[in-house]
Each structure stands twice: as structure tokens, then as C-alpha cells.
Structure 1
Amino acid sequence: MGTTVLAKGARLLVPGIICFLTSAPVFAETQKLALPQVIEVSLQNNGDLKSFREEKGIRDAGKIRAGLLPNPTLDFEAGTGALTGSSAENSLSLGVSQEFFLAGKREKRLTIAEQELEMYRWQLADRERALRDEVKTAFYDVILAEQRIVLTDRAIALNRQLLDVTKERLAAGDIPELEMNLVKVELARGEGAKIDVERALNQNQAKLGTLMGLSVGEYPAIVGSLESATSMTKNLPELKQLAHGKRPDLKALEAEKNRGESDIILAQAESIPNLTAGFAIKRDTTAIEVGSAEYKDTDYIIGLKLSMPIPLFDKNQAGVQEARAKRSSTESRLTAVTRNVERDVETAYTSVLNAEKVLSLYKSNIIPQLEENLKLTQEAYRLGEVGILSVIQEQKKFFEVSEGYLTALHARQLALVKLESAVATDINGGVQ
């Protein structure tokens, strides 16, 4: 009788375990955030990203500075002959001078400031892409930990039911006390495993909360599944082409390369000195003695002054050489990053294919066969052909493989996340 109860109880629980593998854990009384909402909150509140957004003001200030003209210079000069015995003689001069940029330097600096802003916008987009990668990874880490807790709860529930059955059978004299003790050990192991998984969940929630910019001790309530309806419809060459057109780090380097070209043009223009023009009004008062009389004479002079350094020794050769070296450095980095992008896409694409193969094995062979093995072992135990140890081992194997299946689902999601990050495009078509 006890054996029959055990077999029936186990058969009732097996379908529940299978259902778990395709369902998300249930939480009550809490508004949960799906992955798109979690990403949106992170993009708005992440501390590092907010700090980098504030740096736009630095680029805006640079653009304002590039468009400003030099301030005019006010010249004032006064002279007197009082110290030399000619107190009636004095002079007064007032002038204004202004430096003028030649060779279109102001326009060239404005162009460079615009390119700096373009670089910044692509750098910001690249940081957002990297943050999406981190948030998605942390999100699925939390989902995996939550589903592992559900799996350990089911394992504990099954072992408790086994313990109740063994107590009944022990009381009936059908089994030795050792069988009941073995089930107690399995129950304790399951409770210990749950503690470890809960600790991992707490750590993953804390990491996700940090990325989302939440307060210390505040954990996000999320909802999601490791199952994915996403399917790859593009081949590797198409993904590489997408990456070349969408990756913001490549765009940032291309903008930096364009700025390097503008830096060279500006450095060459800097070899032409600026012109300074001045305008002044001068009043001279002189005294002339005729006999015993002294006559004063006042003259007003208007003057124009033009000055320009002679580019004899310094023709900004160092500035031109520096600008060319920076451009060459940028070109080298762009070439290297382009190769790395292609490598990233290839690696992520291969990881997705491998993860899908592993999942296919689980779904088509491992899980169904393991379930059948568990049923056969339970039936053999009911008939008295095997002992409780065989049932425990088969159940243990079933839960270990079920956890492996969860890990495979998680690995596929992470592979998709890496592929989307490498291509800078959602697999379903949205640009990151």
C-alpha cells in the first residue's frame, strides 16, 4: 500500500516539474517590470551614464568658444612735460585694436567643435549599448536564480512527500529505517541548496538594482522568462554588415577620423598669422614762447595701425605634424576595432548556434528520456524490483538535468544578448 502511494505521488509531481521549465516564477502584490522597462529605467537613472550625459555641456561650451572672436584691446596713453620743466606741454592718446582671424580659422574651429559633438553623441550611444548588455545579462541572471529557487522548492516538496511515505512504510514494516534516513539526507541537501540559490539571487538583484540606479537595499521586481521566441533570420554576412552600419563605437571613431582631417586643415591655417588692426586718436599740446608771452598749440592726430607677426621661424610645423600623427593613430584604431567588431559578431553568432544545439538535445532527447526513466524506476519500485536508493538517484538525476536545462536556456539568452550587442541591433529589428 505504501509503495503504491509513493508511486502515485511521484507521478503527480513529475508533470509539475516539466511545467516549471517553461514558466516564470509567481510573485504577489508587486508591480513587476519586464525587460524593456528595466532597460528604460536603467538608461534614465544609471549613475555613470547620467554623469557622462552631463559632459555634453563641456562640448557645447567648446563650440561656443570656437565661435568667439578675440576681445578688442583698449589702449590709453598720457604724457606730461611737468617733470622736465615744460608743464604746459602734454599729450593724450586713446585707441582700440582688434585681432582678426585669417585663413578661415574661426570657421575651421567651429567645424572641429561640431565634430567633437558628433563624437560625443556616438560615444554616448556606445555607452548606452554597453549598459543594455549589462542590464540584460543581470536581468537573466536574476530570472535564472528565481527559477532555480522554484526548482529547489519542488525538489524539497518531493523529498518531503517521500519522507512521509517512508515513515508510513517503516511503520508498516515494509522497509528498513535506513531508507527513511536516506530521504532525510536528501531533504537536508535540498534545503541547503535553496539557501545557496537564495544568496545568489540576492547578489544578482543587487547588481541589477545598481545598474538601474536604485537606492541601496532596493531590489527590482521583474517578470520574464528564459524561454525566447526570438529566432535568427539573418546569416553571418548580413549580421556583419549590420554591425558595420550600426555599431556606435565604429561611428565614434569615424567621426574622430574626420575631426583629425579637420585638425590638419586648421593646423595648416594656423601657419598664417592673424592680423591686428588698431585705431587711435591722439591729442598733443605744445607751448611756444614769443617774447614774454607763451602760446599753446593743440593738435589732434588720428592714426591707424596694422600689425602681423612675420612667419619666418615658426610656421606651425609642430602643430601640423601633431595633427597628422593623431589622425594616423585614429585610423589604426579604427582598423583594429573594425576587425574586432567582425570577430565579436562571429563569436556571438557561433555561441547562439551552439546554445540552440544544446537546447535541441535537451528538448528532443534528454528531458523526455529522463522523464521516462524516472517513471520506469518508480514503477519498478512499486513492483519491489528496486529499492528506494534507485528512486532517489533517479530523482536526483532528474533535478540535476532540469537545472542543466535552465542553465542552457540562460546560456542561449546570454548568447543572444551578446549578439545583439555586437550587432548593435535587436534581433527583431530595433536599433540599440
Structure 2
Amino acid sequence: MTSHVQAYRASLLHFRNDPAFDDDATLWHTDGLLIVAAGKVVAAGNYSKLVPTLPAGCEVHDYRGKIIAPGFIDTHVHYPQTDIIGSPASGLLPWLNTYTFPTERRFGSNSHATEVADFFLAELLRNGTTTAAVYCTVHPQSVDAFFSRSHARNLRMIAGKVLMDRNAPEFLLDTPESSARDTADLIRRWHNKGRQLYAITPRFAPTSSDEQLKLAGELATQYPDTYIQTHVAENTDEVAWVKQLFPDARSYLDVYDRCGLMRERALFAHCIWLDDADRARMAATRSVATVCPTSNLFLGSGLFDFAAADRLQMPVSLATDVGGGTSFSMLVTMNELYKVGRMSGVHLAAQRMFYMATLGGARALQLEGTIGNFSAGCEADFIVLDPKATPLLARRSATTDSLEEQLFALAMLGDDRSIAATYSAGVCVHARQP
């Protein structure tokens, strides 16, 4: 970690609030300066105002013509599924059985898990993602491998061991007791170690018994500053299956609610087939919907209802859901997010999509003030966006006449090539090769 003052000159973009509900939410400096020391933000603002405050001899890294923004935050992704991204299937459940479960079997090997974790983390950084909520496998060593590699890079990551005691291949099953014991051990080993944070991770209701879900809820109460992550209401076949397995529950979401798994820091992937009672319950408990547009389109699961979520003030965040999702890029994910919104009659402004991928993600994770924008004292996780990364993007950027148009062009035409550099805690952890 750096201890001396560093300064970066570029256009600066970050947010103080959700632009959909606050006209003054976006903070934009055409000629800006970001000042960093000891891995944290010292100040961010207009270059002309801040440059006189720099200590003598401080080097200013010149990124003029580019945009510095907070690192992207992906609130739902599966690192063991890296090798099955882009695998064909007729839907969610066949995809799980054909590709996911056989692939996850290999994560009983520490060497395999470590090799995949290294590639996965490098791919996140190449795409500008500096924080992610990550699913491991049922194997505790898959968690150890992931956190070991993340900790070595000093990244801010969240992860957890999948809990799964039924309706999956025997070689991937744990038991309620072993899953609770392993999870508690992993929490003690990794939660708040450096920049690592732990998530209690029932895969989804069909692969956990009532007993396992109740023990997960007890762990969530015992360790209130940990995260909870799972899936809900992704696919109509899945919803019907849950109704058969839990006939006494009012809804799929209610299965989790009854077990004490809804609270702040609880992340529910997909949330497509919810009703308004579910959405109101999400809002009341401050549980977060992690919206996964590329995965939902790829698997034909359905379209997230933004209008209903906003009407009931349900917290939402943005996620890639690799490997059901088809790209590590949050820019590509914004592209698909916009189209999902349009299909349901909603126009998502580019500024809101960038908010969702930065401060919105930090708020979903209860990490505002730690990551997500450039407030003084935040960890210096940031990216350098290149509006001229490709010939087409450069041509379109040259004709934009507002910040909204420029950000929209990045969201529609950008990808990993648009990330010129990625910094974590003030250290450059990725630089695009010319």
C-alpha cells in the first residue's frame, strides 16, 4: 500500500445520491484532480482548486481526455463458473445440472480453486470491478483459495461457502450441521481480515432443507455484520419447484424471511417473479435485489420490474452473475440493463446506471463511506475510463454534447477495452496494454 501522496488528473465522475431521485446527485469535474494517500481518498474536485494543496514534488498522473470514476461493484457473481460462461442450455435448471454442478466438483482441489480464483480476480480488475459479492462452492477450500488470492492483492471482496444439503449431486452436498460449522469457522478466519468480508451463502431454497436455512438464519443473527447472499424468483420453473418444496410459505421470498435471512446486508439475486408484498418486505427489511440482466436474458428467465421496485422503494443493485451472465464487464451489463428496462417501458438514464455500479453498489453492501465514491477517507478504489478506447466509441464520443450522452455511449459501446487502468487502495492493479 502506498503511503505518499499521489494525484491523478482527469475528468472526475462520482455520486452523492441516486440520480433518479436527486437532481444534484452527480458530481462531475471536467478538469478534475483526485488526491490519494495511504490507500485512501484525500480530496477530489476541480484541478485548479486542488493542485495548490499538493505537497512539493508530488507527481500528477496525467489522464486528461479520460474519466476517473469509482471502481465498479458487482453484487452477484460466481467465481467457480468462470470456465462455463457461454454454455448453452434450455433454461436455468438444465444449465445447473449440465454445467454448473459438474464444474463445481473440481473445487475440492485447492490448486484448481486457486488457479481459477487468480484468473477470475484478474478478469474482474481488467473490467474495472474492484469489489464483488462472490459465490464459492460447497467446499471450504474454495473459500480459502478465493480469499487468499484476494487478500494477497489487497482487494475489497465479499465471498462465502455455498450451503447445499439436498437436490444436488451427492458429491456437492453438505449437511445442516457441517455447513453451519464450516461457515462459522470461515467467518472467524476471513471476515474483516484485511479487506475481506464474509457472506453466509445458501445457494437457493431448493437445495437447502428447512433445517439448513434455519441454521443459516441463526448464523446471520450471531454474526450481524456478515452478509447473506442467495437467489430468489429467477425462473418460473424454479418458483413452482419452491412452492412444492415449501407449501406453507406465502411466497418464495417468504421461505427466507421465515428463517431470519432478510435484513440489511442481505443480497437476493434476480427478484424477477416477486409480487408487491414481496417487494414491500424487501424495502422494509432493506434487503437488496441484485439485478442480473445478462444472465436473465441468456437463460430466458424474465425481465426485472424497475417501475414496481421504484414504486415500493425496494433497494436494487447491479450484477453480472457470471457464469449465467455472459460478461465480466459492468459496461456490457449496463447495456443489457438498459434494454431490460426498455422492454418493460422504463428508460434508465446512464447516470443512474453508473450510480448503480458504484455508490449504489456500496449502499447495497452497507459500505458507503468505505467504497463507492470519492468522499474523503474512502478507500482509493478507482478506474480510468477511456471514451476513445475503440474507433467507434471515439467517433461517438466526439459528437456527444452532454455528460449523459457521453456516459450513455460508454454504457452502450464500451467493454473491457474501455478500462484504461484499475486501482485498488491506491495501487494500480491493471493497466490496459496498448
Instruction: Point out the structure with the larger strand share.
Output: 2
TM-score (norm 1): 0.20
TM-score (norm 2): 0.20
Instruction: Point out the structure with the larger helix share.
Output: 1
Computing the radius of gyration over CA atoms, which structure comes out larger, 1 or 2? Answer: 1
Greater relative contact order (Cα < 8 A, sep 6+): 1
